[in-house]
Amino acid sequence: EPEVTQTPSHQVTQMGQEVILRCVPISNHLYFYWYRQILGQKVEFLVSFYNNEISEKSEIFDDQFSVERPDGSNFTLKIRSTKLEDSAMYFCASRQGGAGELFFGEGSRLTVL
């Protein structure tokens, strides 16, 4: 069964460092998403991406965040200067059409020290 894959599974970084989280969505999917989940809290929407541009973003997704689809298969989330409060699980998701099932990856756990 096709799946969304994310790397790394866990990253530890120092405050102020840049982090890039990578995702490979399912190959025929057109809509891509990043979510985050702080430990013990709900899943929070960060950004959606379609046709090589951001279609929606939340208030969390400020100037320190950016997304890119550099090569037609990867979908990346960059955090420019990490803060302690960026420590969370980051989930990538994709779906084929505008409605229907979202497929999530297993997540990348980011720990900012």
Partner 1 sequence: LAKTTQPISMDSYEGQEVNITCSHNNIATNDYITWYQQFPSQGPRFIIQGYKTKVTNEVASLFIPADRKSSTLSLPRVSLSDTAVYYCLVAPGAAGNKLTFGGGTRVLVKP
For partner 1, the binding residues (CB under 8 A) are: 4, 31, 33, 35, 42-45, 48-50, 55-56, 58, 89, 91, 93, 98-107, 109
CB 26 to partner 1: min, Å = 13
CB of 105 closer than 8 Å to CB of 6 = yes
CB 7 to partner 1: min, Å = 14
CB 35 to partner 1: min, Å = 8
- Closest to partner 1 by CB, 14 or 99: 99
CB of 111 closer than 8 Å to CB of 12 = yes
Strands (E), 4-52: 5-7, 10-13, 19-24, 31-37, 44-50
